[in-house]
Structure formats: C-alpha cells, structure tokens
Amino acid sequence: MNDLTSSQKMANLSLSCAMKGGFVLILLVAATFVSAKKSGDVTELQIGVKHKPASCPIQAHRGDRIKVHYRGKLIDGTVFDSSFERGDPIEFELGTGQVIKGWDQGLLGMCVGEKRKLKIPAKMGYGEQGSPPTIPGGATLIFDTELVAVNGNGSGAEEEDIEKNEL
C-alpha cells in the first residue's frame, strides 16, 4: 500500500523543495566564503601579532596620543603608503576617529615596540568609495604596523636610531 493522499504528496513536495532551497542557500554561502578567501578579502577586522616585547609597561588605550610606523598594502601586494620608507611615523589620538576605524580598533591594547598585521575590511577602511587614485572602492587593506610611542613615551629604539643617524 503505497498510496499517498494528496495532502501527504504536497507535504513531501514542500519538504523536498525546502531541502533543495536550503541546499542551494548553503552552496551560495559556501561559494561566497570561498570566493572571499580566495581573493584575500575579509569581512571582519583581523589582527595578527607578529612581535610582542618581553615586557609591556606601556599600552595604547582609547584617547592616548600614539606614534605608529606602518606599511599599507592592497591584497595584491601593492604598497600604497609607508611611513617606514619616509622614516616618519604617524601620530594621532587613538579611538577618536582621526584614522580609519580598522586602526582605531586594531591598535587598541598594543604595546610599545609591538608589531601587528591588520587586515581591514572595506567597511572599516575607505568603504565602497575608496580613496582614489591609490585605493580602489571596496578594497581590503593590509597594514604592517609598529607602535613607536604612547603619549610621548617610547621604547628608546627610535631615539637610538636618530642618534646613530646623526653621528
């Protein structure tokens, strides 16, 4: 007896369609994830600590005036700006919107002398409009950063470099 009522057939058909629709949705989400991973784009801020000093007496907090060396790159490796090459770190007040949101969040808690790699999604960088001509709209940004000083207090390494260069 394999006779199904019309309501049972409709229920089976609905379940079958729902399962196929769910499967298609899962495939779309997976494809989007793989595509984003493949291209190097990120959807959330990623913070990688590359070097942390043995001791951390000075950390960066919201409202602190900090000095940071940085190298900014696009996901294809193109460098669009670098304070390292200029020998002049940027100075700003952390967490107050003077820089892109990815920096305001990604540098919090950093120790003087610490090095971090920040992968910043477009929504926390320059958004869909970008910053022409060097940063295209919707660009994920990658920054290699080094905290040089907090409220005028540094590790002393920068002062040593300046003294060596002056001799």
CB-facing half-sphere around the CA of 149: CA atoms within 13 A:
15
Please, are residues 52 and 114 in contact by the beta-carbon 8 Å criterion?
yes
Q: For residue 149, name the pLDDT band (cuts at 50, 70, 90).
A: very high
pLDDT in tens, 118-142: 999 999 999 999 999 999 999 999 9
Whether omega before 121 lies within 30 degrees of 0, making that bond cis, reads no
Q: Supply the residues annotated as catalytic.
A: 70, 80-81, 100, 126, 143
Please, are residues 124 and 137 in contact by the beta-carbon 8 Å criterion?
no
pLDDT in tens, 98-107: 999 999 999 9
CB-facing half-sphere around the CA of 40: CA atoms within 13 A:
11
CA pseudo-torsion sign 59, 71, 98, 41: negative
Q: How far is CA 81 from the centre of its chain?
A: 16
Across all residues in the chain, what is the average pLDDT?
Answer: 83
Q: What is the pTM of this model?
A: 0.71
Please name every residue paired with 66 in a beta bridge, in sequence order, or none if there are none: 92, 150
pLDDT in tens, 6-63: 666 665 655 565 555 555 445 444 444 444 444 689 999 999 999 999 999 999 999 9
Please name every residue paired with 74 in a beta bridge, in sequence order, or none if there are none: 141
